[in-house]
Structure formats: structure tokens, C-alpha cells
């Protein structure tokens, strides 16, 4: 984590790379000196050369920052010119220390000996410039990627919140109408219980973070509140069967993922039959997957050719969008429930809360 902070601090990261690079330059030349019979004073020559190189390339950083926004041809010209000038100065300083300290002050007959290997110095400084621009462009690319990732995450969160808060108004209207009917029929106690259950369910739906996942057993409690409200409306014509395995009860699921499926089963399966019907909710684990199933014994897929009667309305589209946003690996399928009815199967990765 501490090293990551150094990388994210671009100024500090430059100094680390700058001095580390010149230290590596000195180390390579020191190891190379073992190939020849060099005196101990040559170590000073190596250190001084690396130190002069480190000092002379520092102004290049500020020069490149000033011309960063200029045209490419101007930038290339500045890089080549500055690299050659700095490389030439560096070579003169190298040769000076070599002749003055290593050769005991021996001066060659021609002054141009102090300019020997100027092309070599130019290439090294040009390599430093190339690394500087390469690392700077890489940092800019990483910064843009982080911005794009942050924007994508924000968009996904906004989409999830929008999908999560798409409550079907029919449920509220039907519930409020049922409460009004109970009050008119002087069934105040039942109406009061219905209001309390509705309040608890809406509180859960609004207070649960739409981005975070919840344990399946918590989701079952919320769905139980919803089904108790519906059972007051349909009385004995609605039967609910639960089959939740122990291993699946602690698994994480998107909040209110199954509620639209149950609502569709009631609307298109139970309400469509005079005798009502049964809704079965199953949850179990298989390997690294969580398997969820909601089925009913209503008219089923063949009842009508319209997509609405197949249960492929807003609720199904909502669930598909949420699954696609939250998971890379998932499956969602509609099939006929034997002997009759509709079955919805969902497979998502098996996840648990981290301790």
C-alpha cells in the first residue's frame, strides 16, 4: 500500500525513478570495470559521472513540461536538441574528471579529446528523455483509464439504483384498494395489519442499498412480508411453498431480485385462475453457483402468444438488466412448469459475506 502511494504521487514517483535509474547506470559501469584492471579511484569516476548525469537531466524535466502542449514536430526538435546539448556537456564533464583524476592531470595534446564520445552521451540522454515521455504517457493513460472506470462504475450504480427502485405501481394500487375495501367492510384490524406489513416492506425496499447485495434469508423475510400482503388479498386461493437449503440461506443476492418474479406469478398465474394456485420458491447451491427458481401452476407459457402473458414484461426486463450489470457469469431462463405453469430459473455466482 505504501509503494502504491508513491506511484500515485507523480512527483515523488519521478524522483524515485530518476535517481534509481542513475544508480543503476553507476552499478552497471562498476560491474563492467571488473573486466579491466582499474584502479580504486575509478569508482569515484563512476559515481561522479552518474551524479553529473542525474543533475544535468533534472532541468530537462522542467523544459519538457513547458513544451508538453506544443506541436509534435516542435517537441521532437526540442527533445533532440536538448538531449544533444546536455549529452555534450555531460561528456565534457566525464572526460574532464577522467583526465584530471584518473590520468593524474595528464592533458591530451588536442582539446577535442574532452569532446570524445559525445554521440554516446547524446544517446544515453536521449534514452532518458524517451523513458521520461514513455512513463509520463503511461501515467496519463492510467489516469484516463481510472477516469473511464470511475465513470463506468458511476453509470452502473445509477443504472442499478434506477432498476432497483422500479416498483410496479400496480402492487401499491392493488394493496391500497384492498385496504380501502377492508376499511369499508369494517375489517379495521385486518386493514391495520395490512398497512403495517406494507410499511415494513416499503421500508425494507427503500432502506436497502441497491448497490449492495443482501443475504438470501434477509431477502426471504422481505418476500414473506410481500406475500402476506398478497395472501390477504387472495385469501385461500394463494398458496406459497418455500424450499431454501441451509447452504443457500446465507448466500448473497441482489435485493428484491425475486419480487418481480413472484409478482408476475401472482398476476399472470394465480389471479388468472378462479381457484387460485401455488407459487413455489426454491434456492439451493450447486458447486460455485447459487440456483434460484420461482414457479407457479397457472396457465403457463402457452396461455397466450403475447409477451405480457408470458411474464416477459417490465419485471423480467428489470431482472435481466440487473443481472447483466452485476454479473459476468449468470443465466436466466423461462420454461414450462410440468404439468402446467411457468418456471423461472436463475443461476448466479455463489457469494458470501466476508468476515
Query: Residue 52 domain-assigned?
Result: yes
Query: Residue 355 domain-assigned?
Result: no
150 has a pLDDT exceeding 80: no
213 has a pLDDT exceeding 80: yes
What would the mean pLDDT of 223-242 be, rounded to a whole number?
A: 84
pLDDT for res 310: 43
The rounded distance, in Å, linking the Cα atoms of 349 and 331 is 10
Tell me: do 190 and 248 sit in the same domain.
yes
What would the mean pLDDT of 62-84 be, rounded to a whole number?
A: 89
Least confident of 57-66, 132-141, 142-151, 301-310: 301-310
Last-in-domain residue among 100, 133, 159: 159
What would the mean pLDDT of 265-282 be, rounded to a whole number?
A: 84
Query: Residue 83 domain-assigned?
Result: yes
Q: What is the pTM of this model?
A: 0.55
Query: Residue 324 domain-assigned?
Result: yes
Tell me: do 179 and 152 sit in the same domain.
no
Strands 238-244 and 277-286 turn out to be parallel
pLDDT digits (tens, 9 = 90+) for 277-328: 889 999 999 999 999 999 988 887 655 334 444 445 566 877 888 788 788 8
pLDDT for res 55: 92
Report the chain's terminal Cα–Cα distance, integer Å. 21
Number of structural domains found in the chain:
2
pLDDT for res 254: 86
Least confident of 21-25, 178-182, 225-229, 341-345: 178-182
Least confident of 2-11, 75-84, 172-181, 270-279: 2-11
pLDDT for res 152: 66
pLDDT for res 157: 62
Tell me: do 127 and 207 sit in the same domain.
no
pLDDT for res 331: 94
Confidence band (pLDDT; 50, 70, 90) for 216?
Answer: very high
Q: What are phi and psi of 37, to 5 degrees?
A: -85, 85
Query: Residue 354 domain-assigned?
Result: no
Of the chain, the percentage scoring pLDDT greater than 90 comes to 18
Tell me: do 288 and 248 sit in the same domain.
yes
Tell me: do 142 and 185 sit in the same domain.
no
Tell me: do 126 and 206 sit in the same domain.
no
What would the mean pLDDT of 135-153 be, rounded to a whole number?
A: 78
Query: Residue 57 domain-assigned?
Result: yes
3-state DSSP assignment of residue 70: coil
pLDDT for res 171: 65
Last-in-domain residue among 106, 134, 159: 159
pLDDT digits (tens, 9 = 90+) for 2-28: 545 555 566 778 888 888 888 988 888
Tell me: do 181 and 137 sit in the same domain.
no
Query: Residue 319 domain-assigned?
Result: yes
pLDDT for res 309: 44
pLDDT for res 95: 81
Is 187 or 162 the better-scoring residue by pLDDT? 187
Is 230 or 1 the better-scoring residue by pLDDT? 230
Least confident of 117-121, 173-177, 333-337: 173-177
pLDDT for res 110: 56
What mean pLDDT, rounded, does the chain reach?
79
Three-state secondary structure readout of 134-199: HHHHHHHHHHHHHHHHHHHHHHHHHHHHHHHCCCCHHHHHHHHHHHHHHHHCCCHHHHHHHHHHHH
Is 64 or 204 the better-scoring residue by pLDDT? 64
- The candidate with the shortest Cα–Cα distance to 266, out of 342, 180, 163, is 342
Query: Residue 292 domain-assigned?
Result: yes
48: containing domain: 2-159
Q: What is the CATH number of the domain that holds 189?
A: 3.30.565.10
Tell me: do 203 and 319 sit in the same domain.
yes
Tell me if 348 sits within 8 A of 290, measured CB to CB: yes
DSSP-assigned letter for residue 337: P
Tell me: do 144 and 181 sit in the same domain.
no
C-alpha of 234 from chain center: 44
Is 77 or 210 the better-scoring residue by pLDDT? 77
Tell me: do 185 and 308 sit in the same domain.
yes
Tell me: do 62 and 207 sit in the same domain.
no
Confidence band (pLDDT; 50, 70, 90) for 189?
Answer: confident
pLDDT for res 181: 75
Tell me: do 112 and 190 sit in the same domain.
no
Last-in-domain residue among 126, 159, 192: 159
Amino acid at each position: 500500500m505504501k509503494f502504491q502511494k508513491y506511484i500515485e504521487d507523480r512527483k515523488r514517483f519521478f524522483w524515485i525513478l530518476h535517481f534509481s535509474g542513475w544508480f543503476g547506470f553507476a552499478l552497471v559501469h562498476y560491474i563492467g570495470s571488473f573486466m579491466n584492471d582499474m584502479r580504486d579511484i575509478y569508482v569515484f569516476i563512476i559515481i561522479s559521472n552518474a551524479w553529473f548525469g542525474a543533475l544535468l537531466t533534472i532541468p530537462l524535466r522542467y523544459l519538457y513540461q513547458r513544451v508538453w502542449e506544443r506541436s509534435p514536430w516542435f517537441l521532437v526538435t526540442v527533445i533532440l536538441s536538448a538531449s544533444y546539448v546536455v549529452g555534450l556537456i555531460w561528456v565534457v564533464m566525464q572526460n574532464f574528471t577522467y583526465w584530471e583524476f584518473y590520468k593524474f592531470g595528464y592533458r591530451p595534446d588536442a582539446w577535442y579529446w574532452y569532446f570524445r564520445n559525445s554521440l554516446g552521451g547524446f544517446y544515453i540522454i536521449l534514452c532518458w528523455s524517451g523513458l521520461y515521455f514513455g512513463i509520463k504517457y503511461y501515467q496519463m493513460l492510467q489516469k484516463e483509464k481510472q477516469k473511464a472506470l470511475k465513470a463506468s462504475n458511476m453509470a452502473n450504480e445509477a443504472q442499478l439504483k434506477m432498476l432497483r427502485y422500479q416498483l410496479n405501481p400496480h402492487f401499491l394500487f392493488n394493496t391500497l384498494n384492498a385496504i380501502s375495501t377492508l376499511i369499508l367492510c369494517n375489517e379495521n384490524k385486518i386493514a391495520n395489519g395490512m398497512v403495517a406489513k406494507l410499511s415494513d416492506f416499503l421500508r425494507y425496499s427503500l432502506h436497502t442499498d441497491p448497490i449492495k447485495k443482501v443475504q438470501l434469508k434477509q431477502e426471504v423475510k422481505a418476500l414473506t412480508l410481500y406475500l402476506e400482503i398478497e395472501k390477504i388479498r387472495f385469501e385461500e386461493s394463494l398458496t406459497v411453498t418455500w424450499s431454501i437449503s441451509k447452504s443457500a440461506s446465507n448466500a448473497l443476492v441482489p435485493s428484491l431480485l425475486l419480487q418481480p418474479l413472484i409478482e408476475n406469478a401472482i398476476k399472470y398465474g394465480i389471479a388468472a385462475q378462479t381457484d387460485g394456485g401455488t407459487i413455489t420458491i426454491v434456492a439451493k447451491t450447486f458447486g460455485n453457483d447459487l440456483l434460484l427458481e420461482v414457479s407457479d401452476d397457472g396457465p403457463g407459457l402457452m396461455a397466450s402468444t403475447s409477451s405480457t402473458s408470458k411474464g416477459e414484461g417490465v419485471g423480467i426486463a428489470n431482472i435481466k438488466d440487473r443481472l447483466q450489470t452485476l454479473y459476468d457469469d449468470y443465466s436466466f431462463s423461462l420454461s414450462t412448469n410440468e404439468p402446467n405453469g411457468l418456471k423461472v430459473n436463475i443461476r448466479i455466482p455463489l457469494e458470501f459475506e466476508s468476515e
